[in-house]
Amino acid sequence: MKLLKKSISNTLLFFTFLIIIFSCNSNSQTAKTINENELFKQDELESIYGIYEFKNNDIELKIEIKNNYWSGTTKIITGTGDAYDKENIQYDNGITKGNDLYEKEGFIKIGNIDGNNLMTTIGGQKVILNKIDIYRIK
């Protein structure tokens, strides 16, 4: 039981430290970025699918959600240069259930979405990522 708790704790620590800056290389056939001038249904506006982002002087987080999965990147700003920071980007992914984000196995809730905001924690601090792109799922 202690080993399970330690494993869960390590997974949470790993996730919260690394979190999620979604790679923006998502030109897939199942999703299309919605142009501001396109008309779309209200339910598409309310969808959790899209890209969420948080940036400050210390960290850049990006999480992409589509097809009931999330993936993300965490870039810690070290002050030693962008090339070094890019080499040390951390990647993570998991699943979604409703408006909640879970680690890969689906047992540990690591965040939730309310409207255009994704709430999670990193290093014990609450972080809110804002939706920057909406997907139309075909």
Q: Give the pLDDT means over successive 10-residue stretches in the chain (138 positions).
A: 50 42 36 44 68 94 95 92 86 96 96 96 92 71
Q: Is 2 helix (H, G, I), strand (E, B) or coil?
A: helix
pLDDT value, residue 87: 86
Angstrom distances, CA of residue 12 to CA of 17, 22, 85, 130, 134? 8, 18, 23, 22, 28
Task: Return the closest-CA partner of residue 44 out of 55, 33, 52.
Answer: 33
Task: Return the closest-CA partner of residue 51 out of 25, 90, 16.
Answer: 25
Structure tokens at 100: 């909640």
- Domain 2-137 indexed as CATH 3.40.50.2300: no
- What is the C-alpha to C-alpha distance for residues 16 and 58, in angstroms, rounded to an integer? 15
Displacement of CA 12 from its chain's centroid (Å): 14
Instruction: Name the pairing type of β-strands 31-33 and 90-97.
Output: unpaired
DSSP conformational letter for 5: H
pLDDT value, residue 73: 95
| Residue for token pair 């998502």 | 26
pLDDT value, residue 1: 56
- What is the C-alpha to C-alpha distance for residues 100 and 131, in angstroms, rounded to an integer? 15
For 61, phi then psi, to 5°, come to -120, 140
